[in-house]
A and B are shown apart, each in its own frame.
Chain A
Amino acid sequence: DAMVIQNPRYQVTQFGKPVTLSCSQTLNHNVMYWYQQKSSQAPKLLFHYYDKDFNNEADTPDNFQSRRPNTSFCFLDIRSPGLGDAAMYLCATTQPDRAHNEQFFGPGTRLTVL
């Protein structure tokens, strides 16, 4: 089945220790997103790629970086995680030429910062 896969599902890191989260998709969608979601809050868009074009949200901290080496893969790098970065990180994809652009989500990576 076509899907969005995230690894790992759970990540524990130490304060200040870099961490990389990965996302892959078999949907062949042009757009990939990274969201941060904390408990009882809306998913917060960090950035998105339209093909290779990178779009950073204005309030995304510099601590967060992303790479998309090809259509299928996208990575989220957190250079120096702080306690406030503990959250669920959701990867999503969409194909923007459709009339209603449903976003398809991976299962998320739950990040714990010690």
Chain B
Amino acid sequence: RKEVEQDPGPFNVPEGATVAFNCTYSNSASQSFFWYRQDCRKEPKLLMSVYSSGNEDGRFTAQLNRASQYISLLIRDSKLSDSATYLCVVNKDSNYQLIWGAGTKLIIKP
């Protein structure tokens, strides 16, 4: 089993729709969780950290389920500019060593 698993997609979604991704992780001791966004041939950029209580930033909502060891990302009212690869990231042994998922590719269609 991979340490961080994501559905690679692509998810093809019409503009304005709501889309959700899940990511599972294997290390039950992990404490830090992130979603990064990566545009084609660019570097990853932090989208949002994921807190235990769940958190929302505009159209984006992240949830953590420790019991089932997964995190989720919900995007509401999707925009064309949301097209990107979304990387799930979880800390390893220390809080500054991270394990990266391979990403879920999202394509928003007009």
Task: List the interface of chain A (C-beta within 8 A of B).
Answer: 31, 40-43, 45, 48, 50, 88, 90, 94, 96, 100-103, 105-108, 110
Contacts and interface: CB of A to CB of B under 8 A. Distances in A.
B86 interface: no
15 contacts: A31-B96, A40-B8, A40-B102, A42-B102, A43-B44, A43-B100, A50-B96, A96-B95, A96-B96, A100-B49, A101-B32, A101-B96, A101-B98, A105-B45, A107-B42
B42 A42 contact: no
A42 B103 CA distance: 7
B87 to A, nearest CB: 7
B94 A96 contact: yes
Interface in B70-110: 87, 91, 94-98, 100-103, 105
A96 B46 CA distance: 16
B101 A42 contact: yes
Contacts of A105: 43-45
A48 B97 contact: yes
Contacts of A90: 43-44
A9 B32 CA distance: 30
B91 A101 contact: yes
